[in-house]
């Protein structure tokens, strides 16, 4: 056995009151079991007595007070029967130690014992440093006590294991990493449709935390339940689009047919309602163009034109224009989007919404002033566009209880800075779209 990785044990001499005496190479070690406040007081009183003898120059010793390694090492010295010096007894008396605790050497004190020594237990000489008179039965008892103490120490001080990084691992990988650590595992269900099923989404405690054997690591395991497509039939076109956006879905295509329903009412969807849909999926809508409206005009493509050109085409087709101006990094007056989509059959006098860039610099203005609202608050935006935005059409919107507000729309560029402050009502979220697909959503 090796004490503190430095003292090879040659023999266990005695164990008493939670303290064990070992003969090691080059001397003796009194090793203390410190588990209670009483144990700590006993060790520190003994350590103070050893230090007083060292300060008087009567003793050589090495003291350790590290957790789980409370001991004092005394180097091997020739024994002597001479009486202890008076200054040694005077220094020890306030701490409860006396003549009966001292083993003398020729050049001073050989060691200080935490228990009284009998006369035959003094050190006799170098190479024969044993406690004389210890019966074989007592040695066996001491060995048994030491083995018991070691088992008790391991029971009270189980080994510690670092918690591995499990986020992103599969359930099987996480189990194998924890299998041989002695740590318990507790699993809860999570839902993130953007990540694979059976992947760890979160863990507690975090990676690197050291836990004792038997402690619990808690994992959140992804079940990846997809959102079912809601029933859209009977909704107005703009209401259906808003509902899809709330679920992280988008309108992929629109088709128009003559029907008894009012113009713009949803007649059906593809896929049908109830279909599980991952975020960002596209939905095709079948819309009513009314009944008995006569000849229709296919809506021309307006995006990429300037305001005057788009208004000229709509006027020539007999359609009404609704212009929405949005801040953008695109040239002023450029048509950024249109609704309905190009090719949609439009009745004479039908309305078309177009979004037009109003300035060429990216400085997002505050939201238009509105009447004070009891629960209103201001949220702030500070965003650098990601590398994926380069060369793609960017659309940034703010949603709250009042609906959707476009805060930026135009061509994307990596690192482009978007900043602004906005007044919102209730819960608010920002959504960033790249080429019409939801890229990121967050709450301010």
- Distance in angstroms (rounded) separating the CA atoms of residues 442 and 431: 7
DSSP code at position 366: P
DSSP code of residue 205 = S
Q: Residues 230-244: pLDDT tens digits? A: 999 999 988 999 999
State whether 321 and 376 are in the same domain.
Answer: no
pLDDT at residue 334, as a whole number: 92
Give the residue from 315, 333, 361 where a domain finishes. 361
The answer to whether the Cα torsion of 433, 436, 439, 444 is positive or negative is positive
Convert the pLDDT of each residue in 66-104 to its tens digit: 888 999 999 998 888 888 989 989 889 888 899 999 999
Check whether residue 82 and residue 170 sit in a common domain: no
Q: Is the pLDDT of residue 431 over 50?
A: yes
Contact between residue 321 and residue 312 where contact means Cβ atoms under 8 Å apart: no
Of 176-185, 388-397, 401-410, minimum mean pLDDT range: 176-185
Residue 133 has pLDDT above 90, yes or no: no
Verify that 316 and 387 share a domain, yes or no.
Answer: no
Position 141 pLDDT exceeds 80? no
Mean pLDDT, rounded, for 2-30: 91
CATH of the domain at 357: 3.30.10.20
Q: Which helix or strand (DSSP H or E) is residue 417 part of? A: strand 417-425
Residue with the larger pLDDT of the pair 290 and 32: 32
Residue 304: CB atoms within 10 A of its CB come to: 11
pLDDT at residue 292 tops 70: no
pLDDT of the residue at 151: 63
**Position with higher pLDDT, 298 vs 367:** 298
Tell me: do 84 and 212 sit in the same domain.
Answer: no
Six token digits for residue 245: 């956006």
Query: Does residue 214 form part of some domain?
Result: yes
Statement to judge: residues 337 and 418 lie in one domain: no
Q: 204 with 342, same domain?
A: no
In contact, 301 and 274? CB cutoff 8 Å: no
For 355, the domain range is 294-361
pLDDT at 385 over 70: yes
Q: Average pLDDT for residues 382-400, to the nearest whole number?
A: 88
In the predicted model, is pLDDT for residue 157 greater than 80? no
Cα–Cα distance between 422 and 303 in angstroms, integer? 28
Spell out the SS3 assignment of 74-117: EECCCECCCCCCHHHHHHHHHHCCCHHHEEEECCEEEEECCCCC
Which position has the higher pLDDT, 143 or 219? 219
Q: Does the residue 321 lie in any domain?
A: yes
The verdict on residue 427 lying in a domain is yes
User: Is 100 a member of any domain?
Assistant: yes
With cut-offs at 50, 70 and 90, classify the pLDDT of residue 116.
very high
Query: Does a structural domain hold residue 35?
Result: yes
Q: Tell me, yes or no, whether 230 lies in a domain.
A: no
**Least confident stretch, 29-43, 95-109, 366-380, 389-403:** 366-380
pLDDT surpasses 50 at 434: yes
When pLDDT is cut at 50, 70 and 90, the band that residue 119 belongs to is low
Q: Are residues 354 and 440 in the same domain?
A: no
| Percentage of the chain exceeding pLDDT 90 | 24
Q: Which helix (H) or strand (E) holds 149?
A: helix 136-156
- Tell me, what CATH number does 63's domain have? 3.30.200
User: What was the pLDDT predicted at 373?
Assistant: 47
pLDDT computed for residue 140 by the predictor? 72
Q: Residues 425, 368: one domain?
A: yes
43 & 129 share domain = yes
Q: How confident is the model at residue 144 (pLDDT cuts 50, 70, 90)?
A: confident
Residue 324 resides in a domain: yes
Q: DSSP letter for 319, please.
A: -
Residue at 320 is within a domain? yes
Q: Are residues 329 and 375 in the same domain?
A: no
Q: How many domains does the chain have?
A: 4
Q: Are residues 340 and 356 in the same domain?
A: yes
What is the mean predicted confidence (pLDDT) over 222-226? 78
Same domain, 77 and 133: yes
pLDDT score of 126: 43
Domain CATH code at residue 369: 2.60.40.2560
For residues 190 and 225, give the distance between their C-alpha atoms in angstroms, rounded to a whole number. Answer: 9
Q: To 5 degrees, how large is the angle CA 361–CA 362–CA 368?
A: 105
């Amino acid at each position: 056995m090796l004490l503190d990785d430095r003292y090879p044990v040659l023999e266990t001499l005695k164990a008493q009151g939670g303290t064990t005496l070992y003969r090691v190479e080059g001397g003796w070690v009194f090793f203390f079991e410190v588990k209670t406040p009483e144990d700590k007081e006993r060790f520190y009183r003994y350590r103070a007595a050893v230090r007083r003898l060292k300060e008087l120059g009567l003793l050589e010793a090495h003291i350790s007070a590290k957790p789980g390694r409370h001991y004092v090492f005394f180097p091997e010295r020739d024994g002597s029967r001479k009486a202890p010096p008076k200054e040694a007894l005077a220094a020890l008396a306030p701490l409860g130690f006396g003549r009966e605790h001292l083993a003398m050497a020729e050049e001073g004190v050989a060691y200080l014992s935490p228990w009284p020594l009998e006369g035959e237990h003094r050190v006799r000489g170098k190479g024969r440093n044993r406690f004389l008179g210890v019966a074989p039965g007592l040695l066996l008892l001491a060995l048994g006590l030491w083995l018991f103490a070691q088992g008790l120490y391991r029971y009270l001080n189980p080994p510690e294991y670092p918690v591995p990084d499990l986020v992103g691992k599969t359930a099987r990988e996480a189990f194998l990493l924890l299998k041989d650590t002695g740590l318990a595992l507790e699993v809860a269900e999570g839902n993130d449709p953007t990540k694979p099923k059976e992947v760890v989404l979160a863990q507690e405690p975090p990676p690197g935390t050291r836990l004792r054997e038997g402690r619990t690591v808690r994992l959140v395991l992804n079940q990846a339940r997809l959102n079912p497509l809601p029933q859209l039939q009977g909704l107005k076109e703009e209401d259906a689009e808003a509902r899809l956006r709330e679920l992280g879905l988008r309108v992929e295509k629109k088709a128009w047919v003559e029907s008894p329903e009012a113009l713009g009412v949803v007649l059906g969807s593809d896929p049908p309602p109830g279909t599980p849909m991952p975020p960002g999926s596209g939905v095709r809508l079948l819309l009513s163009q009314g009944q008995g409206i006569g000849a229709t005009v296919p809506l021309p493509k307006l995006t990429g034109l300037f305001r005057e050109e788009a208004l000229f085409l709509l006027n020539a087709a007999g359609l009404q224009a609704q212009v929405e101006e949005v801040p953008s990094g695109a040239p002023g007056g450029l048509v950024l989007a249109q609704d309905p989509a190009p090719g949609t059959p439009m009745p004479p006098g039908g309305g078309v919404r177009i979004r037009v860039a109003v300035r060429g610099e990216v400085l997002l203005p505050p939201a238009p002033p509105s009447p004070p609202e009891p629960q209103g608050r201001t949220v702030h935006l500070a965003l650098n566009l990601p590398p994926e935005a380069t060369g793609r059409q960017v659309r940034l919107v703010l949603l709250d209880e009042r609906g959707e507000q476009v805060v930026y729309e135009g061509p994307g560029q990596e690192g482009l800075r978007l900043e602004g402050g906005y007044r919102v009502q209730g819960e608010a979220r920002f959504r960033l779209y790249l080429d019409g697909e939801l890229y990121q959503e967050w709450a301010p």
